[in-house]
Structures are given as C-alpha cells and as structure tokens.
Chains A and B, each alone.
Chain A
Amino acid sequence: MTTTTIAGTAVELDDEGFFAEPEQWTEDMAPAIAAQEGIDPMTERHWQVVRFMRKAYEENGTGPTVRVLGKTSGVPIKELYELFPKGPAKVAAKIAGIPKPRGCI
C-alpha cells in the first residue's frame, strides 16, 4: 500500500497501482492516471468505458472482465484494445479508481 498524490489529492493505492479506497476517486483524477498509462488525452470513447467500469463496480462490487466489457459496454473488444492497448479491463479499472477486476479466480 502506498500513498500518492493525484490531481492535488492524496490517495491510497495497492501494490499494483489500483485504488485501495475507491471512494477517494474523483473524475478529475482520471486524465492524470490515464496519462501515466500512456493515454493522453482521454477521448470520449475512453470516458465511456471508464464511466461504465465505475458504474459496474458500484453495482456489483467488482469491475467487469474484458469479455463482459465487450458484451455490455457498447464498445467491441477489438476497439477496447485499441483504446487501452495494455489491457482494457486492468487499465480502465485503474483509471476508474476501482480495484483490480476479480473476474479471474
């Protein structure tokens, strides 16, 4: 666990850089996290996925996997990889300030 400052606010991140306290996240932090992941600037399509992740987490307690994102977010899997080349579910979860998706047990 480490404390870091994003968009002027101190937040807790886990060992892999995911938010340990998702309630510390605010939308104005997303572009700064995205930039660290090599996504700069965020497009409307990035926002669509990030907001979808956030909503899914708030409803289900976990972020969706890539496969579920492809079925439900309105963005097909191929495009998800174009938007988040380093892995859509993980990177979008990071930007959305939610824990690592636990779809994989």
Chain B
Amino acid sequence: MFLAAGVRNVEAVSGTRRVVVLGAGTGGTLAANRLRRAWSPQEVEIVVVDEDDRHVYQPGLLFVPFGLAQPDEIVRPRGRQLHDGIDYRVSPVERVEVGEHRVVLANDEPVDYDVLVVATGAVLQPEETPGLTGDGWMERVFTFYSLPGAAALAGALATFDQGRLVVDVVDMPIKCPVAPLEFCFLADWYFTERGVRDRIEVTYVTPLDGAFTKPTASARLGDLLAEKGVELVTEFNTGEVDGAGGRLIGYDGREVPFDLGVVVPLHGGAPYVGRSPGLGDELDFVPTDEHTLQSKAAPNIFVIGDAANIPASKAGSVTHFEGEVLVENVRRFLDGEPLDASYDGHANCFIETGFGKALLIDFNYETEPVGGHFPSTVGVPLLKESRLNHLGKLMFQWFYWHALLPGRDLPGLGSDMPLSGKDLRAEPEDRKGAP
C-alpha cells in the first residue's frame, strides 16, 4: 500500500486545492459528483474536461441495431449530469505533464492539479486492422460500438434476409466483453421474429478459446450459442478484413466469409495518454494499482473505469463499483492518510439472451461467474436465463442517469462482491482466481 509521501505540495499550500477529472463519461461523472459532495467548493475546486458534450449511454448501443432503442434516446448532455459547483470545460486534452502536475488542453491552456483523475475510457481503433475501414466499411462491415455505427447497422439489418452474418471480436481487451455475445443472441431473436432465421447463418468469431474468458460462464454461454444455432469459431486472430470481398482473414491463414460483418474493433486508451510521457502503457491504458486505483505513473494520479489497465472487465458496473474506493482514496491522499486497498474487481453484467430474457453474471478478481442467486440466496438467478433479469437490464437505463451518475449509494448494492447466494461448490479449487 502506498503511504502518501508525495503530498508535500498539498500540505505546503493552504487554501483551495484542485482536482482535475479528465473525461465526463460514466467514471468521470460519478467520480466528480461524489467528490463534489465530499468537500465544499472552498476546500476543493473540481474541474472536469471532456472533448464534447454528448454523454452516450453505452449499454444502449446494443439495442440500436435491432430497433429496440433510438440513437437520440441514449444521448444526453455531459454537463447536465454534473452537479452544481463543478467547472466543466469542453476541450480536447493535448497531454498531461506528470512531473509538473499539469494538464495541457488543446489550445495550450495549462490546468494545474493537486490530484488528477483519469477517466477517459477506451477508444475504438478500427484503422489498426488492415482493410477494416476500407471498401465495404459502413456498407457491408459495421460496428455497433459507436453510435453512428449502431445506427447504420440498424438500416443494414432491417433489409438483411438471407446469407451469413458474422460477429467478430478482433482482439481483447474490449468494452463490455459480453456485448458481442448478446448481439448474437439478439440477432437470433430478431431474425426469428422477422421469419427469416432459417435463411441466415450466424457465426461468432473470437480470439478466445471459448465463448467467454471465465471457465464456468464460457461453458454456459457456449451452450447457449449452440442452442440458438450460432456457430462458434475460436482462437481466431483477425489480421485483415476484406470488406468488399466479404472475408475475415486470420493471422494463421484461416478465412471466415460473410455477407454482413459486425466487427468489434481493437481498443486503446485515449490518444493524449500516448502523448503524455510516463503516463500510459503500449496500448495507452494507464498502469494502475488494481486495489487502490492509484496510478503507477504518479501518486497524485488516480484512474477509474476503462482507462485503467487493471485485470477487470471494461464495463460500467466495474466503473460504478470503483467509484467508492476512488473517491475515498482521493480524500485520503489529500489528507495524507494511507490508501484504502479494498477494490476487489467486482463486476456485474446482465447478458441479454433474446426473447425477453437475460442472464446475470457477478464476479471479481478471485471468484469467477458461477450459478446461484444475486445479491444473496434470495434474489435474481445467476448464470441462468430469466425474464426478471431482462427487466433488470431495461430498468438499468433509468438507474444509470438518476442514481449511478449522480453518485448515490444504493441499498444492497455495495462495491464488494457478495458471496452469499453464489453456488461455489461446483467450482474446482484450482480454478479459483484463474483468469
């Protein structure tokens, strides 16, 4: 655990201190709002920076291609999600000068900080895969991981009534690793509803050696793909996409043909991280302590959400559960106290499976997703399809705007993963903690 030895500039300066939050997405918004509640504006000034004022409810992107959500329903202004007393600035970030405790905005304006919170998430890098953004991009090959992509795909799916639909994950890490599976399940439902399912082959192509990363969930989700008639191609590392010819080409020489391609592109951290010496890793994610959320770049830089390189899913639930530890540690750092090393990697994801059902997985660094019930022995079923989980997924959007972003604590849904209710008996001892 880090003992806050680097607080000299904080202790030496009396008066108002400044916390700068880069990014006003899920993590930046909930962190800024929680921080605002923890101090008066006289004690701590909070500056939030983002390059635009459009906050996309990213879980909604999955529903747009199937006409289950409209693009304008899932976007709200970023500034309006932030509490009063937060200085919100719309500007790209040029770089962070780690040693100078300074952010430089795109117009060269410097913004000094006592504490920096990096919350700029992950960005899509489709141009890193040869051919992906060439001929056929947004005509025959789409992604639903961006709002324009999801909207364009809705148009393509509406007129697709025969042939091969291929859903491809280029490589990990990606945001919401279950979303491409959910896309397959919803496609099965969507084509069935339209009466064309028997004329369409659906194939899921993944670089992993199974449907998912963790053994029990991978087996269950693999079974679900099979039940729904979705072909699974594993250990496929996409080296090139031939959009015009309708082919995925693997590094190992294998090819997967498609009539309609849905590709989840490579992800990286925000580009300014790469322009900030000493801040990021080779993919521009920020090396971060997985329990305290303090960056390894400097003691006064903390990281929340997808921007961190910690071994947890890049998912909104992870970001939500990190919020409490992050805010507590920013407070401890400013007060010169030892940090709280209690973030346990808790993630919790509804997986939409089509036909009005969903299943739920709940896990952390140590415990893989298993069956049972959540949050305790009485609750919604885990790793099993149910209508209740589908309703939970739909209700989540309200919860996101009205409780999660404002940073409200929710009764019965704390940061730590609950063990009560989980069926751990079937889990072999040597699999515990296995990634």
Contacts and interface: CB of A to CB of B under 8 A. Distances in A.
Interface in B400-435: 430-431, 434-435
Contacts, number: 53
Contacts of B237: 66, 77, 81, 87
Contacts of B255: none
Given A66-B237, A67-B266, A77 B207 contact: no
Nearest to A101: B435
Contacts of B171: 65-67
A20 B239 CA distance: 31
Interface string A89-105: 00000000000101111
Nearest to B365: A105
Interface in A6-33: 14-15
B252 A105 contact: no
Contact of B172 (A1, A71, A87, A104): A104
Given A104-B435, A105-B172, A81 B208 contact: no
Interface residues of A, number: 21
Contacts of A67: 171, 266, 283
Given A68-B283, A85-B252, A104-B207, A77 B239 contact: yes
Contacts of A15: 430-431
Interface residues of B, number: 23
Nearest to A87: B235
Contact of B282 (A1, A71, A87, A104): A71
Contact of A62 (B173, B283, B311): B311
Interface in B251-292: 251-252, 266, 282-283
A-B pairs with the 4 shortest C-beta distances? Answer: A102-B435, A104-B172, A81-B251, A71-B282
13 contacts: A14-B430, A66-B251, A67-B266, A68-B283, A71-B282, A77-B237, A77-B251, A78-B239, A87-B237, A104-B208, A105-B311, A105-B313, A105-B314
Given A66-B237, A104-B207, 16 more contacts: A14-B430, A14-B434, A15-B431, A62-B311, A65-B171, A66-B207, A67-B283, A68-B283, A71-B283, A72-B282, A81-B252, A87-B237, A104-B208, A105-B213, A105-B312, A105-B435
